[in-house]
């Protein structure tokens, strides 16, 4: 469950800390007070992408932090992602002034997709928009497989499906590249032999270019080396003079340190003298070396130019690619046959898993439809009918080999319609709540957040929905954003979002209502800004139900 949400410098929230408890919490506030911004901040810390950036954050970094209380069932995720596990886990999202963001779990930097994977295990946000999302077959399959307990099986199916599609792609590439004509194959072989015979080595081009520079300046370099040798080796040269100084200092104890330093200088000078001799010998070793180096560089450059490449490393890659194509072409039949056998094995595995998935789904469909119809009756739709239909296909899809459709009818004798054709917002709100109630009983997600899903209902129906949310809160943390007094009065904790102007700047705050404040807020939801005695009485009645 979520214990705490801290919002710093995000839109209207400057520095707000919100405490949550288990059970049922309701959040209310005037239109524009900041309820949607608060939910947006929570969605960001749960991994939502930054698709808008608040104007008031333009000069400072935004930091949103949430603290969650976890159980040991989440340890595997932490171990898999090399994150320290703590039952009191803190998620942090930092958004810079240019809109770029960083995410952390227990102070460990994580990629956004890792944060999203984690948040999907602990929190589910359900908004008015989600009612439209649930009309999507993908959401319907997720719900059905949750209830059927088939998530692990579905994951296995999808892993094999990826392998199956990879093999299909390999087969297409083999067919595309493997069926070379004799002329094409001979041309590839010629190109490969040309590169292979060149025997180009790593960094060879750079080494040759350095040698050529040296050889092109051989006369001036040789003259300089001769002069240096004379300065080092004649009677009055550096080595002889340093040796004389060393002999003089050797006879005096007070100059022993100087004698040692002179000895080091002599060793260094003799080493330099040897290096000069080596360079002179190498310059004189082969007068044709410059031509050989130039020819070699021309060969390398011509191959680069021929293949329109810039770097020698690219020639190595090209050579390997040519080799692979030749090898693949020569073993085309053998390789294609092996891949097609592998594809058949994966296909058989997928069909078997898809059938098991469908059987699991079919077993729970009667239970789901009966439960949802019962829940809808308790929510004021006495003649509710709900159906889930599965239709087999020959196509391997991400959820198996079936298409799904959910149908609903609110009226006795009425026509069953696809969810996407259900017109009444109030009916759809109650249907979605019924589905979420059933889903919560079969899910490991501990926190459910409802954002004004009570649209289109009021009065007694709203009260019944509030009762349903109370029931869900017995096993899950439930956080509801609502304008309806019938729902707000059912909550254990009531938070209010309010807006005020400080130093000519508008800010939003969130505070927990006392019992007295709560009566006033419920009365305000009932009657508007002008709170009447009747509204106060009605508010007390609602709170005492």
Residue 131 pLDDT: 57
Residue 56 pLDDT: 47
Which of the four pLDDT bands, split at 50, 70 and 90, describes residue 287? low
Question: 371 by DSSP, 3-state: which?
Answer: helix
Residue 437 pLDDT: 85
Of 399, 405, 198, residue with least CA distance to 315: 198
Q: Comparing 113-122, 196-205, 242-251, 320-329, which segment has the lowest mean pLDDT?
A: 242-251
DSSP letter string over 431-483?
HHHHHHHHHHTT----EEEEESTTTT--HHHHHHHHHHHHHHTTTSEEEEE--
E strands, 31-76, are: 62-69
Q: Are strands 24-29 and 2-10 parallel, antiparallel or unpaired?
A: unpaired
Region 77-92 average pLDDT: 91
- Does the structure show a pLDDT above 70 at 315? yes
Residue 250 pLDDT: 76
Backbone angles phi, psi at 446, to 5 degrees: -95, -20
3-state helix vs strand vs coil in the chain, percent to 5: 60, 20, 25
Round the average pLDDT of the chain to a whole number and report it: 85
220: tokens are 């001036």
- Does the structure show a pLDDT above 70 at 178? no
Of 299, 287, 350, 109, residue with least CA distance to 195: 299
DSSP label at 414?
P
- Does the structure show a pLDDT above 90 at 5? yes
Rounded alpha-carbon distances, angstroms, from residue 491 to 36, 74, 522, 527? 19, 28, 11, 20
- Spell out the domains of the chain, with CATH numbers in brackets: 2-159+347-512 (3.40.50.300), 182-330 (no CATH)
455: tokens are 């649209």
Q: Are 487 and 545 in contact (CB under 8 A)?
A: no
Q: Comparing 229-233, 347-351, 482-486, which segment has the lowest mean pLDDT?
A: 229-233
Question: 96 by DSSP, 3-state: which?
Answer: coil
Strand partners for 27: 481, 495
Query: In sequence order, which residues have a C-beta less than 8 Å from that of residue 375 and are 6 or more positions away?
Result: 433, 434, 437, 438, 468
Region 352-374 average pLDDT: 94
pLDDT digits (tens, 9 = 90+) for 108-143: 999 998 999 899 888 988 876 555 556 778 888 988
Region 245-274 average pLDDT: 79
Residue 424 pLDDT: 66
E strands, 83-122, are: 88-95, 101-105, 108-110
Strand partners for 216: none
- Does the structure show a pLDDT above 90 at 16? yes
Backbone angles phi, psi at 484, to 5 degrees: -90, 125
End-to-end CA distance of the chain: 27
pLDDT digits (tens, 9 = 90+) for 232-255: 777 777 777 777 777 777 777 777
Q: Are strands 417-418 and 400-409 parallel, antiparallel or unpaired?
A: antiparallel
Backbone angles phi, psi at 54, to 5 degrees: -65, 140
Residue 58 pLDDT: 54
- DSSP H/E element including 103: strand 101-105
- Please list, residue by residue across 517-527, b when 16 or more beta carbons sit within 10 angstroms of its beta carbon and e when fewer do: ebbbbbbbbbb
Residue 232 pLDDT: 75
- Higher pLDDT, residue 215 or 141: 141
- How much of the chain exceeds pLDDT 70, in percent? 93
Q: Comparing 376-380, 452-456, 478-482, which segment has the lowest mean pLDDT?
A: 452-456
Rounded Cα gap, residues 140 and 142, in angstroms: 5
Which of the four pLDDT bands, split at 50, 70 and 90, describes residue 8? very high
Q: Length of the chain in residues, anyone?
A: 545
Rounded Cα gap, residues 490 and 116, in angstroms: 31
Rounded Cα gap, residues 92 and 537, in angstroms: 43
85: tokens are 């596990």
Region of residue 186 (left: phi > 0; alpha: psi -120 to 50; beta: else): alpha
Region 96-108 average pLDDT: 88
Region 342-362 average pLDDT: 95
Region 359-384 average pLDDT: 92
Tell me the pTM: 0.64
Q: Comparing 339-353, 428-442, 461-475, which segment has the lowest mean pLDDT?
A: 428-442
Rounded Cα gap, residues 17 and 139, in angstroms: 33
Residue 24 pLDDT: 94
Q: Comparing 390-394, 426-430, 431-435, which segment has the lowest mean pLDDT?
A: 426-430
Rounded Cα gap, residues 280 and 268, in angstroms: 19
- Higher pLDDT, residue 258 or 164: 164
- Does the structure show a pLDDT above 60 at 448? yes
- Please list, residue by residue across 285-316, b when 16 or more beta carbons sit within 10 angstroms of its beta carbon and e when fewer do: eeeebeeebeebbeebeebbeeeeeeebeebe
Residue 480 pLDDT: 92
pLDDT digits (tens, 9 = 90+) for 376-421: 998 888 998 999 999 999 899 999 999 998 888 888 888 888 876 7
Which of the four pLDDT bands, split at 50, 70 and 90, describes residue 182? confident
- Higher pLDDT, residue 52 or 105: 105
């Amino acid at each position: 469950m979520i214990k705490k949400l801290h919002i710093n410098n995000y839109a209207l929230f400057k520095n707000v800390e919100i405490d949550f408890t288990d059970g049922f919490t309701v959040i209310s506030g005037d239109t524009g007070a900041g309820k949607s911004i608060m939910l947006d901040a929570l969605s960001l810390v749960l991994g939502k992408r930054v698709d808008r950036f608040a104007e008031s954050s333009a000069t400072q970094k935004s930091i949103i932090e949430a603290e969650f209380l976890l159980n040991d069932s989440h340890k595997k995720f932490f171990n898999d992602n090399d994150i320290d596990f703590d039952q009191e886990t803190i998620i942090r999202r930092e958004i810079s002034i240019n809109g770029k963001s960083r995410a952390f779990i227990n102070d460990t930097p994580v990629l956004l997709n890792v944060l999203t994977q984690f948040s999907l295990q602990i929190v589910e946000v359900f908004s008015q928009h989600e009612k439209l999302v649930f009309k999507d077959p993908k959401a319907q399959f997720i719900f059905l497989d949750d209830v059927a307990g088939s998530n692990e099986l579905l994951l296995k199916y999808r892993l094999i499906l990826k392998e199956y599609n990879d093999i299909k792609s390999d087969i297409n590439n083999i067919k595309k590249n493997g069926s070379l004509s004799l002329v094409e194959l001979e041309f590839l072989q010629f190109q490969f032999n040309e590169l292979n015979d060149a025997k180009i080595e790593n960094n060879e081009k750079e080494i040759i270019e350095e040698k050529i520079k040296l050889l092109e300046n051989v006369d001036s370099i040789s003259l300089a080396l001769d002069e240096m040798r004379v300065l080092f080796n004649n009677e009055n040269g550096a080595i002889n003079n340093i040796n004389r100084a060393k002999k003089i200092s050797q006879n005096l104890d007070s100059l022993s340190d100087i004698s040692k330093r002179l000895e080091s200088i002599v060793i260094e000078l003799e080493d330099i003298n040897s290096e000069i001799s080596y360079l002179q010998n190498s310059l004189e070793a082969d007068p044709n070396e410059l031509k050989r180096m130039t020819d070699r560089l021309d060969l390398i450059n011509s191959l680069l130019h021929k293949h329109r490449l810039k770097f020698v490393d690219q020639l190595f890659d090209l050579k390997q690619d040519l080799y692979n194509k030749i090898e693949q072409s020569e073993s085309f039949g053998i390789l294609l046959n092996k891949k097609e056998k592998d594809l058949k094995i994966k296909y058989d595995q997928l069909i078997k898993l898809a059938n098991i998935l469908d059987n699991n789904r079919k077993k729970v469909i009667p239970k789901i439809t009966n439960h949802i119809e019962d829940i809808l009756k308790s929510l004021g739709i006495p003649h509710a009918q709900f159906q889930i239909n599965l239709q087999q296909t020959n196509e391997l899809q991400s959820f198996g080999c079936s298409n799904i459709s959910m149908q609903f009818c609110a009226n006795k004798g009425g026509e069953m319609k696809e969810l996407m054709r259900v017109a009444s917002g109030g009916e759809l709100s109650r249907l979605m709540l019924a589905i979420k109630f059933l889903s919560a009983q079969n899910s490991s997600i501990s926190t459910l957040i409802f954002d004004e899903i009570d649209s289109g209902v009021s009065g007694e129906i709203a009260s019944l929905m509030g009762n349903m949310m109370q029931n869900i809160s017995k096993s899950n943390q439930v956080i509801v954003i609502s304008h309806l007094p019938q729902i707000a009065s059912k909550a254990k904790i009531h938070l209010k979002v309010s807006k005020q102007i400080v130093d000519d700047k508008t800010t939003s705050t969130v505070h927990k209502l006392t019992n007295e404040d709560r009566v006033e807020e419920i009365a305000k939801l009932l009657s508007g800004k002008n709170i009447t005695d009747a509204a106060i009485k009605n508010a007390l009645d609602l709170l005492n139900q």
